[in-house]
Amino acid sequence: MPQAPLKRCTLYDTAEVGALLDDMARRAAALLAGRDAVIVGILRRGAPLAALLRERLERDHGIAGLPSFDVKIQRYSDDLRLLHPETLLTEDPAHAGLDLAGRCVLLVDDVLYRGHSLLRALDWAARRGAAEVRVAVLADRNVNVLPVHADIVGAHLQLAPDDVVECHVPPYESELSVELVRPRR
């Protein structure tokens, strides 16, 4: 039986995502002010979002020189197919001995879905001695099944279970946007 075609619509266009990021940076500035902080982007799309937040923190809020780096966490593919039964975290070998003792870590990702990736990232930061871990996501689907949450959310979404949220972020896509992909019913 052929699969039903997908319906795609834009939830937030480039300008609207820019406004979401501006607001996220404002809230991040309040959380990070006066702290010894580091920004960690979760690859793939969380990493360039972390860079965009870092730019806004410097440009708009005077918080300059925040160290940042990326970690790769995988459980699901972009279309939400399970890739790994256990959530995998891969870090750059250059950061293997990273000591986060006493630091505030801001984890940045594109979508909070079920919470598996975020839980793995929180565990990773805690094992490296982070004194405080905050989370920023562009979109929260509000369906997490684990006791994790984002402190800074660009957009809270209420969607059907089979809907897919795609955050389009350069360099992976040409323009910033948040898209909804759903099977035609």
Q: Is 151 exposed, middle or buried (0-12, 13-18, 19+ CB in 10 A)?
A: middle
* Residue 80 scores a pLDDT above 60: no
Taking residues 129-135, report their average pLDDT. Answer: 95
Give the global pTM.
Answer: 0.86
Local confidence band at 147 (pLDDT 50, 70, 90 cut-offs): confident
Q: Which residues contact 147 (CB under 8 A, 6 or more apart)?
A: 115
Residue 82 has a pLDDT of 47
Instruction: Write the CA distances from 160 to 33, 70, 82, 119, 156, integer angstroms.
Output: 37, 31, 18, 23, 13
User: For the chain, how many structural domains are there in total?
Assistant: 1
Q: Residue 72: which CATH number?
A: 3.40.50.2020
Strands 68-74 and 88-91: antiparallel
* Boundaries of domain holding 157: 14-165
Residue 24 within any structural domain of the chain: yes
